[in-house]
Amino acid sequence: MRRILVGGLVLIWLGTVTIGLARTRKQQTGGDAEFKALIDKYYVAWSSMNTDNAAPLYAKDADLVFYDVAPLKYNGWQEYAAGVKKNFFDTATSAKVTPNDDLKVTRRGNVAWSSVTFHVVLKMKDGTTLDLQGRHTAVWEKRGSKWLIVHEHVSAPLQG
């Protein structure tokens, strides 16, 4: 009887460990439907060239830091939104920003980080086209029921 009880407890423990490992593996390999939807929403919002569409995805704390292709650094969402508008959207007629299929998401409680590469095509007002590949890493924090970006790093490899 004691053997059966011990055997049952071991099976329950192994089942719990297996389920936990499967959840962790799913979260670390990008098989996260919730974040896939957030990333898709993010790229549609920025492709609209309207920072109001991207704003709901960002925390608004004034001391947050966001890195973009140019300039080097923005402090807080307000500065970021104004800077992207001035440096990119005011000089372009259209934007198409598309994530590649390499999204990776890792969650730890109410914090998650994501990384993905993307392709952007900006049609400029002077008739030229900016066409490049980029990298996007975001740190997300769950506030209430929403995941919000609290830090972001967008960059492009040097062309040479």
Query: Which residue type does 38 have?
Result: L
pLDDT for 117 equals 97
Task: Domain ranges for the chain, please list them.
Answer: 1-30, 32-155
Record the tokens describing residue 11, joined without a space.
């099976």
Tell which residue, 141, 134, 137, has the closest CA to residue 120: 134
pLDDT for 135 equals 96
Record the tokens describing residue 14, joined without a space.
């192994």
Instruction: For the full predicted model, state whether its pTM sits above 0.85.
Output: no
Tell which residue, 136, 158, 151, 140, has the closest CA to residue 80: 151
Tokens 């506030």 locate to 143
CA–CA separation, 144 and 61 (whole Å): 15
CA–CA separation, 7 and 64 (whole Å): 52
Q: Are 38 and 147 spatial neighbours (Cβ–Cβ below 8 Å)?
A: yes
pLDDT for 4 equals 60
| CATH code for the part of the protein at 32-155 | 3.10.450.50
pLDDT for 32 equals 86
pLDDT in tens, the chain (160 residues): 555 654 444 445 444 444 454 454 444 444 589 999 999 999 999 999 999 999 999 999 999 999 998 888 999 999 999 999 998 899 999 999 999 999 999 999 999 999 999 999 999 999 999 999 999 999 999 999 999 999 999 999 887 5
